[in-house]
Copies of this chain bind each other. A is one copy, B any other.
Amino acid sequence: MKQYQIAVIGSAGSEEYPYDKPLAAMFEAAEKIGQLLAVNKLIVVCGGKGGVMEAVSRGAKSAGGITVAEIAGLSRWAANDYIDVEIVTGDLAFRGPSQLIAMSDAVIALGGGSGTLQEICVAYRLQKPIILLRGFGGWVDKLSPVSFLDERRLVKFYQATTPENAVQKALSMLK
């Protein structure tokens, strides 16, 4: 019954993303990614907050998928309304980002601030397949000109320009 688990990471929302790009397009893309992952019977793993996290979960649930979120703190019922399984991970920045990545078979990133960048670092170091969906600004767009996060060349970034493309790349890299 185990299915592939795909992390989708990106910005929580407008308050941390006062941005020159329209947020609506980014959230729409995230929702589409969630739908496509669910249609392909993949479990969505994400943070439990708003923004990209809520959009991807809403998309996955609309297609009958399973959604798993990590949330900071020790309190239950802190995730958004589209989450099935809630992983309580304790204090901010400490464990949650690594937990989310470690349990995933591939990572799709779009937009993103410092939390997303931290997750990309962990994914790179754990050599998870990483797909950068360009076009929504943030750290994903800053990173997309490069192929590797450092000189060790542990794992190459895959570039995507549409949600369809990003999910297809993730699917192609699952073992």
A: which residues have CB within 8 A of B?
A: 1-3, 5, 15-19, 43, 61, 66-68, 73-74, 76-77, 79, 81-95, 98-99, 102-103, 105, 113-115, 117-118, 121-122, 124-126, 138-139, 149-152, 154
Partner of A43, one of B73, B85, B94, B124: B85
Partner of A85, one of B66, B74, B92, B115: B66
What chain B residues lie within 8 Å of A94 (beta carbons)? 74, 90, 95, 98, 102, 122
CB distance from A30 to the nearest CB of B (A): 17
Whether A138 pairs with B117 at a CB distance below 8 angstroms is no
Residues from chain B with a CB closer than 8 A to the CB of A2 are: 77, 79, 81, 83-84, 86
Chain B neighbourhood of A66, CB < 8 A? 66, 84-85
